[in-house]
């Protein structure tokens, strides 16, 4: 018996990379998988989702493809309906689908901003919303969302991506709070991995090139075990949390909390804030650095 035996799991963006590894890992652990992806093989024209389904079935697993966009309300609902039509229920939604349109903010177009937000943030909400009534009715379910250190910590040239990924963190926390009484859980994973999506990261400076070389050493399959665990009944007490995987390392992230406080009985003025509050807070300021600065060691 696998850890997610007979659970029905939808994995978005599962035609390649991290999503493909997730879909295969869930199937190997006993789940029935809906493999979602819009992309097609450039040479054969076959939907990548169909290829992954064939791999899973060849290995003895159960899977169906849903070649639909997560970035539209109706099509997101059709993805969830595919789980219900083929397997009779839905137990877990993995919001993994994503794109990048990297550009420094002073050059970023409206279209580049909108495309990334539509897939990552709006898509995560549409998929969440489509599954929520079913989770509520059966009083069980799990959401797993992919966030990023580009949002949690920061990164160059990814304002659209970082904003969407931090929005997903807020969405996950709201889901965990809103649906706790129905035994529905929601967690985030920040992955470090070399995939087709990360291959477009700018690499012009020596520092950026070093970052890319480290990413190339991080296998996307290493992230799948945590995703399988979070969908399992053994993770029943885990909700509203943020984790990360970097090769053989698993991270647990803190979340925003107040760390310093000052008050004045007669209230604040702009001048007293400048003279008293900011000097007191300054020792606790966070350095404004990209995420790779905080993980300078080689992947384990």
Query: Does 96 score more than 60 pLDDT?
Result: yes
Query: What's domain 8-256's superfamily in CATH?
Result: NAD(P)-binding Rossmann-like Domain (3.40.50.720)
What band does 202 get if pLDDT is binned at 50, 70 and 90? low
CB atoms within 10 A of CB 274: 10
What band does 207 get if pLDDT is binned at 50, 70 and 90? confident
| Catalytic (active-site) positions | 161
Note the pLDDT of residue 194. 63
Query: Does 218 score more than 80 pLDDT?
Result: no
Closest of 291, 283, 288, 185 to residue 231, by C-alpha:
185
Class of residue 105 by CB neighbours under 10 A (exposed 0-12, middle 13-18, buried 19+): exposed
Convert the pLDDT of each residue in 219-271 to its tens digit: 889 999 999 999 999 999 999 999 999 989 999 999 999 999 999 999 999 99
Query: Does 38 score more than 60 pLDDT?
Result: yes
Q: Once rounded to an integer, what is the mean pLDDT over residues 283-300?
A: 84
Note the pLDDT of residue 135. 98
What band does 3 get if pLDDT is binned at 50, 70 and 90? very high
What band does 204 get if pLDDT is binned at 50, 70 and 90? confident
Show me where the domains of the chain are located: 8-256
- When mean pLDDT is compared across 77-86, 125-134, 213-222, the lowest value belongs to 213-222
**% pLDDT > 90, the chain:** 82
Q: Once rounded to an integer, what is the mean pLDDT over residues 284-300?
A: 84
């Amino acid at each position: 018996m696998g850890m997610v035996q007979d659970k029905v799991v939808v994995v978005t963006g599962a035609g390649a990379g991290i999503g493909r590894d997730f879909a295969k890992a869930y199937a190997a652990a006993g789940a029935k998988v809906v493999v979602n992806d819009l992309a097609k093989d450039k040479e054969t024209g076959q939907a990548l989702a169909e290829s992954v389904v064939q791999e899973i079935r060849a290995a003895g697993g159960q899977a169906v493809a849903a070649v639909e966009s997560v970035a539209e309300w109706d099509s997101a609902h059709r993805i969830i309906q595919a789980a219900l039509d083929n397997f009779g229920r839905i137990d877990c939604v993995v919001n993994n689908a994503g794109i990048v349109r990297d550009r420094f903010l002073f050059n970023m177009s409206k279209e580049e901003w909108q495309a990334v937000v539509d897939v990552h943030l709006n898509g995560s909400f549409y998929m969440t919303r489509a599954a929520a009534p079913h989770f509520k009715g059966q009083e069980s379910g799990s959401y797993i969302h992919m966030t990023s250190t580009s949002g949690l910590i920061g990164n160059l040239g990814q304002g659209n991506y970082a904003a969407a990924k931090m929005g997903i963190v807020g969405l996950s926390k709201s889901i965990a709070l809103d649906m706790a009484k129905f035994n529905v859980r929601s967690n985030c994973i920040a992955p470090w991995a070399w995939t087709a999506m990360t291959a477009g990261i700018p690499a012009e400076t020596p520092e950026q090139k070093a970052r890319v070389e480290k990413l190339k050493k991080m296998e996307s399959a290493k992230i799948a075990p945590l995703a399988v665990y979070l969908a399992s009944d053994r993770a029943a007490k885990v909700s509203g949390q943020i984790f990360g995987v970097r090769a053989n390392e698993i991270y647990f992230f803190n979340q925003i909390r107040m760390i310093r406080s000052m008050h004045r009985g007669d209230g604040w003025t702009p001048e007293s804030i400048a003279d008293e509050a900011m000097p007191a807070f300054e020792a606790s300021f966070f350095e404004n650095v990209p995420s790779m600065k905080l993980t300078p060691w080689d992947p384990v």
